[in-house]
Amino acid sequence: MVSMDNQLMVSNFGGDDGFGTGLPDNARFPSALSSISTGNADTSHLTGAQKAAIIVRLLVAEGVDTPISSLPEHLQALLTQTLGTMGLIDRKTMCAVVDEFVEILDQIGLSFPDGLDAALELLDGRLDAGATQRLRALARGAGQNDAWSVLENADIEELQQLIAQESLVVGAVLLSKLSTDKAAKLLMKLPSDQAKALAIAVAHTETVAPDTVARVGATLAEQISCKPARAFALPPAKRMGEILNASPASARDQLLRELDAADKDYANGIRKSIFTYQDIPARLSERDVPTLMRELTNEDLMLILAAGKAEDTNTNEFLLGNMSKRLAESLREDSTALPAPDQDSYEAALSRIAGTVRRLADDGTIKLQVTKD
């Protein structure tokens, strides 16, 4: 009962019942076959598949749901073929097989998943997204050096560039081999006409030979791997924009004017990466204003209102108009009693509010709208 074909005897016939037997929750073996007496006939002439067929036949006769579909396909086929050739089995042999099976179940403490794919299914929802993605890539190939693992771990932007320069068939193969989540993200990033063409092309990948798929993966992965490693995750303009986000407005504006003269394209790229208090009406949804206000101190907004800067008027009115009327009136009234703030305090308040908006967007609490170039 420990030979390879005895997998059918001890493999999963359903979900875990709590004792690692692999039987369904409602199929406790003793209760399902409680009317069968024990026997001591010799069963050495039976294969593991034949013994499994006897057990399955008994469980089916007892009305127990036996999800054979959880077995690997080749074992399902073997079990079905064996059931069709068994003929008649005498009662003593049947009872001896039952005794043997019960003995095996009694000796099992826990049953573990068969392979990485099954382990991932068992831990579904308990691993973080990054670990799941890397492990699924490993399950498909030979590890970190596997071509499809390289492609699975590539940035969406890199995959977009690959698809843009390859044929539709190659793009369809790539889309088909990526994990579902990765493929969906990639597809959503593509222009609608390109996404539609790729979706149609996927229908024609059924006849692509495995060696062709392997060559496609190797070629695409080589293009990814040949790119020099980047020391910084963000492009230069984005990095500089993040720095200037935390800088005083006066210093930021002065630097941008000087960068305009030196490299206008670079300066424009930085501007696109900067988020300021004045950007709030164009980027923040009205329904997210209450969420933002819960994260802010009233003092910062009161200080900005007290400054009375013309460039802040649109943002002030946007925020006040999308909070409770009582709170808006209170802030207006209280701000009139404040003296005009000094420049440093004013700019610090602007920076804190803009920084709070960026933080909420980064952690997914709110979603900033994308402005057109």
Domain range summary for the chain, segments of one domain joined by +: 4-107, 143-225, 275-362
CB of 310 closer than 8 Å to CB of 318: no
What's the confidence (pLDDT) of residue 130?
62
Q: What is the pLDDT of residue 19?
A: 30
pLDDT band at 132 (very low <50, low <70, confident <90, very high): low
What dihedral do alpha carbons 208, 212, 218, 219 form, nearest 10°? -90
Q: Which two structure tokens, joined as six digits, stand for 315?
A: 């943002």
pLDDT surpasses 80 at 354: yes
pLDDT reported for residue 300: 94
Confidence of residue 340 (pLDDT cuts 50, 70, 90): very high
The answer to whether residues 276 and 241 touch, using CB atoms and an 8 Å cutoff, is no
- pLDDT over 60 (residue 315): yes
Q: pLDDT at position 323, please? A: 94
Q: Give the residue, 118 or 33, on which the prediction is more confident.
A: 118
HSE, CB side, 13 Å, CA atoms: give it for residue 31.
8
What value does the mean pLDDT of the chain take? 80
Fold of the domain built from segment(s) 275-362: Annexin V; domain 1 (1.10.220)
The mean pLDDT value for 104-131 works out to 72
d(CA 222, CA 126): 33
When pLDDT is averaged across residues 162-184 and rounded to a whole number, the result is 89
* Mean pLDDT of the region 152-166: 87
- Using CA atoms, how far apart are residues 79 and 74, in angstroms rounded to an integer? 9
pLDDT tens for 243-288 read 888 777 778 888 989 998 999 888 888 888 888 999 999 999 999 9
pLDDT at residue 173, as a whole number? 92
Interval 224-244 mean pLDDT: 76
pTM of this prediction exceeds 0.75: no
From residue 224, give the alpha-carbon distance in Å to each of 137, 155, 171, 180: 16, 10, 15, 20
**For residue 188, what are its two tokens?**
């959503």
Which tokens belong to 56?
A: 């399955």
Residue 46: the pLDDT is 86
Rounded to 5°, the CA angle 355-359-362 comes to 135
Q: CA-CA distance, 287 to 299, in Å (whole number)?
A: 22
143-225 is classed in which CATH architecture? Orthogonal Bundle (1.10)
Percent pLDDT > 90 in the chain is 23
Q: What is the arithmetic mean of pLDDT over 220-234?
A: 73
- Note the pLDDT of residue 39: 57
Give yes or no for residue 350 having a pLDDT over 60: yes
pLDDT at 13 over 60: no
CA distances (Å), origin 301, targets 165, 172, 276, 323: 50, 52, 14, 12
- Whether the pLDDT of residue 297 is over 70: the answer is yes
Looking at residue 23, its pLDDT comes to: 41
